[in-house]
């Protein structure tokens, strides 16, 4: 089901020198793990395949730069418990498990992913449930990790039941990359379980980074969610030599809308150690955002955003089309094509 060793991988792909050098190291901050399904999407004859770049490690991961961190979003300092991050007043993140079907090389939670904690124990779930019961300011909970769908159906149902019993009014976000990396996990039985816990809303937050990840299998997985009344939103990570060109992003966003997935965020890469080779310069990202806004509808356009270092939180990026006021007091705007328009306020 999964590839975890150099020997298994070499049977499918001819490894490059940079990939072989990574394997020659004795320690790795994030091990190799690729579902055989996702590996089948990679062109074995293309060493620069954008899907390959996302999941196959390279010696470039060992090149550190200043300002990188294994905890770039300061989650540890905002953790109430080892698995519960309370960084924003009205929402928390529950690190349900440290396992994923496939380990992405751009993972921002390398400090936690593939560690020694595995899934949350019953005692930890109860502790977190008691916390959210006592903290009514929390309106939303992200179930994340790792990938919460690494839990079995029985384990997931127990988790959801415990949380809903503690807070029947809590909106849940199920953060999973399974529709892209292992869509076979999205079974009818899984949907039946999740469907019991969709009042109040439960949103699926997934991650497609390239239009080639949208296959008949991933579409079937998405359809199961949406047909059951479970909304699906997508958070794409902007990655160098993966999707950092406007044509790829345009295809991806339009393809997502076509399969009933709302493009939500386009994220600038976090300053996590080992990912500098995958981060896109911010100016390039801003240029892409401007061009995308010309090409995409409002429904297909994601919010380009950055999660600021040191726990600064998410803020939107992008061009400001508001330029100020003119001599008559009207607001001055630039259109996406660079033309000028004014908008007067109502007279007092």
By annotation, the residues acting in catalysis are 87-88, 91, 100, 104, 107, 109, 270, 307, 314
Instruction: Give residue for tokens 């949103």.
Output: 203
Q: Is the CB of residue 107 less than 8 Å from the CB of residue 55? A: no
d(CA 146, CA 53): 20
Calpha distance 121→106 (Å, rounded): 27
> If DSSP states are collapsed to H, E and C, what string results for 66-135?
CCCECCCCCCHHHEEECCEEEEECCEEEEEEECCCCCCCCCCCCCCCCCCCCCECCHHHHHHHHHHHHHC
Are residues 112 and 98 in contact, defined by beta-carbon separation less than 8 angstroms?
A: yes
In the sheet that holds 322-325, the strands lie side by side as 322-325, 331-334, 340-343
Beta bridge partners of residue 171, listed in sequence order? 140
Contact 173, 142 (CB under 8 A): yes
CB count in 10 Å sphere of residue 104: 23
């Amino acid at each position: 089901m999964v590839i975890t060793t150099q020997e298994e991988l070499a049977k499918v792909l001819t490894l490059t020198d940079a990939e072989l050098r990574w394997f020659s190291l004795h320690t790795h901050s994030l091990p190799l793990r690729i579902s055989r399904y996702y590996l089948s999407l990679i062109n074995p004859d293309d060493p620069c395949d954008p899907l390959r770049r996302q999941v196959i490690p390279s010696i470039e991961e060992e090149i550190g730069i200043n300002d990188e961190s294994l905890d770039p979003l300061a989650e540890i300092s905002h953790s109430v418990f080892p698995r519960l991050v309370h960084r924003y007043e009205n929402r928390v993140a529950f690190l349900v498990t440290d396992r994923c079907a496939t380990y992405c090389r751009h993972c921002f939670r390398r400090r936690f992913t593939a560690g020694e904690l595995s899934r949350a124990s019953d005692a930890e779930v109860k502790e977190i449930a008691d916390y959210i019961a006592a903290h009514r300011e929390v309106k939303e909970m992200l179930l994340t990790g790792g990938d919460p769908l690494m839990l079995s159906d029985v384990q997931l149902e127990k988790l959801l039941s415990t949380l809903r019993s503690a807070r029947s009014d809590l909106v849940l976000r199920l953060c999973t990359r399974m529709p892209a990396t292992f869509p076979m996990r999205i079974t009818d039985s899984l949907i039946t379980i999740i469907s019991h816990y969709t009042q109040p809303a439960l949103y699926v937050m997934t991650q497609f980074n390239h239009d080639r990840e949208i296959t008949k299998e991933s579409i079937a997985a998405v359809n199961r969610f949406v047909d059951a009344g479970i909304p699906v939103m997508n958070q794409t990570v902007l990655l160098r030599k993966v999707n950092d060109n406007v044509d790829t992003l345009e295809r991806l966003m339009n393809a997502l809308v076509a399969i009933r997935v709302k493009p939500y965020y386009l994220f600038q890469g976090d300053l996590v150690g080992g990912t500098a080779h995958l981060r896109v310069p911010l100016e390039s990202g801003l240029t892409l955002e401007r061009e995308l806004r010309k090409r995409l509808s409002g429904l297909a356009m994601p919010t380009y955003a950055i999660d600021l270092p040191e726990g600064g939180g998410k803020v939107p990026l992008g061009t400001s089309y508001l330029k100020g006021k003119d001599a008559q007091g009207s607001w001055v705007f630039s259109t996406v094509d660079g033309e000028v328009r004014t908008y007067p306020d109502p007279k007092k």
